Structure 1
Amino acid sequence: MPSARHNLSGSERRSPAGRTIGPADPNEQIDVSIYLKDSPAEAGADRAACRDARAQRLQPAMQELADFAKAHNLTIKEQDPGRRLVKLSGTVADLQKAFGTELKCYEHQGRQFRGRTGHLSLPATLADKIEAVLGLDNRPAATPKVVFSRNAAAAGYFPNAVAKLYGFPATPGLGKGQCIALIELGGGFKKADTNTAFHVMNLPPPHVVAVGVSGGTNTPGEDQGADGEVALDIQVSGAAAPHAKIAVYFAPNTDQGFVDAITKAVHDTKNKPSVISISWGAPESDWTDQAIAAMNGAFADAAGFGVSVFAASGDRLASDGVNDGKPHVDFPASSPGVVGCGGTRLSAGAGRIADELVWNSNGAGTGGGVSTRFSAPDYQSGVSLPASGRGVPDVAADADPNTGYRIVVAGSVETIGGTSAAAPLWAGLFALLNETRSKPIGAPHATLYAHPAAFRDVTDGDNVENGYGYSAGPGWDACTGLGSPDGAALMKAFEEKTG
């Protein structure tokens, strides 16, 4: 007698935007990523110390999943207990039966994809052990938080000049021995662009490696916006920490690809990044609970490994691009395990900052507000939040495309901004800070919030759109967080205590 099936908690999907083309091809072969649940006992634990224990704990669930796969004509493509990941491969027809769903083909904004609605279902005993099943639905998950300047007179700054303006420390190795991970859901980079950019900045080009995840590859030339994102991330983080290694994790723009890329970076024992920069995201309301849970599990692992994670807070002001008359924040920047990075408009002269305001120009500007998915974390207990929930962002940096960064893309110099510039800049700073320590910082929130004087407090401007949003003011605010970096003060704040 077949066992009872339960809906998989958090798997409910809304109908995709766009037109329905018809049923998905039943013979199409696809892969799904299944993330098993974490153990409450592992929360906050040293992940390196408990890696073997995790593999042993998950063995029964993985065996049950293997039996489930066999019974439904599915094959196991990959097992990675450290990531709590099992990848299954099968036809659309077999996967629909296995997970109790119906897949259809859709088209939206010129892109075709598979989609589904409602919950997934599994045998009751297995459903209780699974956190997420990703990959059946491959609708686009996120957008890059990058904005090209439309102002021909916007000269911008070279990335190393911005780091100097913020007083980034000139550590002995300039990031040597550190690895910065960049998460990319499209686009690619050309070595010639990187070499040209760093030659102009009179810096050695960084060691950049491309890591393919779930079929993603370094493919420059297909999407200018995504290519600009990748170039911005490499050139900004590399200019901040010139001798750090940069590992670029390329994955498809789906919730499966996004989560797989982050778990791959966190558990990469070859490149061993100590900092992760994420410049892609989407409004919280666009995410399923299961995808958020899987990503937050990866961020918990990152903290356990001593990896700091930075993410762009969005470029669509307080609405985050949602046209419902309400404020929204962007995920993953809104995750309590991530340092959300907002944007400013930076004016400088004679090598010094003259003025810094909230970025809000030409219909774009820094995202920020209060999460509706996460409660306020302990590290924000001392700040005044405009509503109940986790406040976003935590920090900020130059992001206005009119005062943005001079980036080489496809052989041309472009002035580029967006909060996706703030995230890699902060990641580069933390690579420098980690270089001076015996062990990496990991989750930095408590220290950041305990040292408000380590920031340039941005008190002017707002991210108001259509009559709603937030204004900057003294201390933390929902536009620029604690403020932009004071490199020397942050170096002191994160000094290791001895004796």
Structure 2
Amino acid sequence: MSSSIRTLKAGSHAFGKALLPAALAFALSPLSVHATTTAWASTGSHAALLITQSAAPATAGAPAVAATHYTLNVRGKPQVQELVTPLENTKKLQVAVSLNLRNADQLQAFIKSVNTPGNPAYGKFLTPAQFKATYSPTDAQVQAVVAHLQQSGFSNVTVSPNNTLVFADGNPATVATAFNTTMKTYTHGGKQRFGNDGDVMVPQALSGIVGSVMGLQNVSQKHTLSHLGAEVSTQATAGTQASGGSTVTHPPTDFPGIYDAGSTPTAFNTTVGIITWGDMSQTQSDLAVMTSAAAMSPVNVKVVPVTLGSAVDFSDDPDSDTEWNLDSQSITGTSGGVKQLIFYAAANGKGGPADEELTDAGITAAYNQAVVDDVAKVINVSLGEDETGSNQTGTQQADDAVFAQAAAQGQTFSVASGDQGVYIATGGDFETNAGVVLPSPFSLSSYSVSEPATSPNVIAVGGTEVSTNGTAWAGEVAWNDGIADAGDGNNRIWATGGGKSLFESAPAWQQTALGATTRSVPDISYDASTFTGAQIFIGGKRYGVGGTSLASPIFVGVFARIQTYANNSIGFPASFMYRDFPSNPAVLHDVTSGNNGVSYQGTTYGYNAATGWDYTTGYGSPDISKFNALAYTWGDHTPPTTAPPPPAPVVLKDGVAVTTQGPAGSSQQFTLVVPAGTATLTFRTSGGSGDVTVYVQRNSAASASSNIAMSAHPNTNTESVTMRTPAAGTYYVTVTSPSVFTGVSVEGLY
């Protein structure tokens, strides 16, 4: 159990002084809670499995017989083909009850004020304690929910530090008692599916307190948004493109060059979070391989396990390692290195006991942990699901509350917009008949979008396909790799998500800039194509990986750089983007071609890229250095931190070799104290990889413009500088290379 989650028992000291109103206390008494006369109130969680009735035709001597069928409560309402039966009472269910925030209108006004220059609240972000005091449910409200769960038979009841989520262990019987709904199950694809077949309800006394209940279904849940490509040869390099611009994969360290980081500092002073699940050991191991290969400093990594009730299984999910590797390596390479990288890992049932299964409850709990910790300034979410399913289960409502707190605290969640084009609801699946790709079982004109990208308090990041000259940007189109094998024998579309929310109203900044009435996504975009994506280490080997799960981490790395430059003073940036991007087009690569649907029988479906904002790539991809100059004006205008303190030069000893390395274009500094009376002084390098140059200066730093000697033999690390009868003093040596250099031996001797 996370140390930041507290366990509550009836009558606990934490609530001993919180007296419930008499009517509420009576309504929650054991007799009235379980009585058949209980007055029930609806919540934001509806049936995951919808019951439909049909009548079999009457036959001779036999009347018509009513048959019960079930459909999934997602876009299109597909029918369950398998046998649906009651869920066994031995099944452990771990629920997360989301409680409604107080003063919701006041909170929205504050989020606007804290991001409005000239407002007295501008830049004065809330602490978690301040948020809890004004906007979270009260202790008395929380205790009412806790008492109801305990009296209904739930165990291991815990409460999040911000009072917004209550976690508990139960089973179908306790769910029926507490929420007046029945649990059902069926087997699909060899896996057990389960869900409630009626709306989730609570006693009338809890109406207005409980917003939704998660963990009652696994038929609609978050999935990763990456696309694994082919293994990349260890000899492959980016920079072999034709002069007109080509589409090739790149190591993550190339993205700062492609998107013009220029002199924008690394993110050395900004902490970044990533939402994940399961064990992070393999991801950390591969991240170390990546930084070593790129000659970057090791990443300061922290893993925060996020438990859900008694769910404490954090076994590895090999199918998802690709995602977490893509997120962490892309953020590290694009940012140039962060202050700390925190994995908020939900308990994972995919590789563990059958009674501990990953549901949206665990993912929302991970979002919330990043918010209550309030350490990560930017948080990546490369996950999504059909918005209708998320809305109907109440997950969307719970997620929105978490993201609203993040915005009030000055944190930014970056969310991938989806990888199934406009067909999120069906997973983008298509079928092939005689070599012709056909839609099945849905209408090509029925579009859907991904949650949580549709939240008004996140940055939704769409995907592009970028072409490059070497490591320089050459062009960009909306990402659409077309229809291909999904890896499970099915065909599906691989394209950037984008479109209109069915449930979220347009935030004020989209209403003003776009004239929109509903939340529209994405906001911006970055590279996502498998053909031009990132070269990611997975199990020690490099693979090309794409998807909007690449685009979002690129933005996280970019924005983390900008936050470091602005001393982490910029709040949630959406309102600034929509205010300033239209009048500063030079900040952006405006993507004006491409589509995120399909063409079939002469009709093109989906949305087309266009000049300005569009439903495929938003405003396009920001140029890092120009974005940095603009975004600095969004902060508190304190002097920027432009670079980390330079490391002290390595002190050499006479005749003792040391080994060095560095990323492309970097320099490593050394010093050697030379005594009077020295006859000969030599500095030399050898071995390793790269193509280093050596500069030497006496009593001050050495560089290309300030040196008394240099050695720059092309295509080799074997360099040597020798001086006769050198003057006594401290000699400075700089070793640099235009490309990554590793394992280079440096020696000074006299």
- Determine if the TM-score, normalized by the shorter chain, exceeds 0.5: yes
Q: In the alignment, does 2:214 pair up with 1:134? A: yes
Aligned to 1:357: 477
Check the 8 A contact 2:142/2:163 in 1, yes or no.
Answer: no
In structure 2, the residue corresponding to 1:318 is in which secondary structure? coil
Name the residue aligned to 1:178. Answer: 270
Match of 2:371 among 263, 266, 275: 266
Give, as a single letter, the amino acid of the residue that structure 2 aligns with 1:84: T
Q: Which moved more, 1:230-239 or 1:367-376?
A: 367-376
- 1:248 aligned residue (338, 343, 350): 343
1:30 counterpart (93, 101, 104): 93
CA shift digits 1:50-87 (9 cap, x unpaired): 24525985111122123323322333531225151222
8 Å contact from structure 1 (residues 55, 82) kept in 2? no
RMSD value, Cα:
2.5
> Partner amino acid for 1:469?
G
Equivalent residue number for residue 182 of structure 2:
102
Among candidates 494, 516, 521, match of residue 392 of structure 1:
521
**Deviation by residue 1:205-236 (Cα, 9 ceiling, x = unmatched):** 3122222223466544x433x11111000000
Deviation, 1:158, is 0.6
Contact 1:463 1:470 in 2 (8 A): yes
Of 291, 311, 316, 1:198 maps to 291
| Mapped partners of 1:344, 1:151: distance in 2 | 21
Q: CA deviation at 1:288?
A: 2.9
Distance in 2 (alpha carbons) for counterparts of 1:56 and 1:256: 19
**2:457 pairs with 1:337:** yes
Name the SS for the 1:87 alignment partner: strand
Q: Is the 8 A contact 1:317 1:367 kept in 2?
A: yes
**Does the CA-based 8 Å contact 1:30-1:90 persist in structure 2?**
yes
Which AA in structure 1 matches 2:224? P
Match of 2:421? 317
Query: CA offsets, 1:169-228, max 9 Å, x none?
Result: 5555x22232211112457434331111112222123122222223466544x433x111
**Do the aligned partners of 2:98 and 2:212 also contact (CA within 8 Å) in 1?**
yes
Cα gap change, 1:151/1:27 in structure 2, threshold over 3 Å: closer, same or farther?
A: closer
1:477 to 599, 614, 625: 614
Q: Quick one: structure 1 residues 488 and 164, their matched pair in 2 at CA, closer, same or farther if it must change by over 3 Å?
A: same
Distance 1:283 1:359 in 2: 20
Q: Secondary structure at the match of 2:518?
A: coil
Q: Cα offset for 1:37?
A: 0.6
Q: 2: distance between equivalents of 1:34 and 1:470?
A: 37
Q: SS at the partner of 1:273? A: coil
- Greater strand proportion: 2
Q: CA deviation at 1:384?
A: 4.4
The answer on 1:379 being equivalent to 2:513 is: no
State how far apart, in whole Å, the 2-side matches of 1:152 and 1:487 are: 27
Amino acid at match of 2:524: V
Q: In 2, Cα distance between the equivalents of 1:465 and 1:7?
A: 44
- What are the Cα deviations for residues 436-495 of structure 1, in whole angstroms up to 9, with x where unaligned? 234442311111122322211111111122431111111101111001021111111221
- Aligned in 2, Cα 1:56/1:140: closer, same or farther, shift over 3 Å? closer
Whole-angstrom CA distance in 2 between matches of 1:26 and 1:400 = 45
**Partner SS for 2:405:** helix
> Equivalent residues in 2 for 1:68-467 (5 A)?
68-149=148-229, 155-168=248-261, 170-172=263-265, 174-185=266-277, 188=280, 189-213=282-306, 214=308, 215=311, 219-220=315-316, 222-224=317-319, 226-241=320-335, 242-251=337-346, 252=348, 253-269=358-374, 272-289=375-392, 290-320=394-424, 322=426, 323-325=442-444, 326-363=446-483, 364-384=494-514, 388-452=517-581, 453=585, 454-466=587-599, 467=604
The code of the aligned residue for 2:527 comes to: D
Change in CA separation of 1:137 and 1:97 when aligned onto 2, cut-off 3 Å? same
Do 2:136 and 2:162's aligned partners in 1 also have CA atoms closer than 8 Å? Answer: no
Q: Which has the higher contact order (CA 8 A, sep 6+)?
A: 1
How far is 1:243 from its partner? 2.9
Q: Is the counterpart of residue 10 in structure 1 residue 139 in structure 2?
A: no
CA distance in 1, matches of 2:151, 2:443: 45
* Contact persistence 1:396–1:422 (CA under 8 A): yes
Q: Which has the higher helix share?
A: 1
Structure 1 427/168 Cα, relative in aligned 2: closer, same or farther at 3 Å?
A: same
Give SS of 2:531's match.
Answer: helix
SS, match of residue 229 in structure 1: helix
The structure with the largest alpha-carbon Rg is: 2
Shift of 1:273: 0.7
Gapped regions of structure 2 (runs ≥ 5) = 1-31, 50-71, 73-79, 112-124, 234-246, 349-357, 427-441, 484-493, 639-750
- Using the TM superposition, name which of 287-296 and 63-72 deviates more: 63-72
Gap runs ≥5 in structure 1: none
Q: CA deviation at 1:247?
A: 1.1
Normalising by the residue count of structure 2, what TM-score does the alignment of the two structures yield?
0.62
The change in CA–CA distance for 1:279 and 1:96 in structure 2 (over 3 A counts) is same
Does structure 1 retain, via aligned residues, the 8 Å contact 2:511–2:517?
A: no
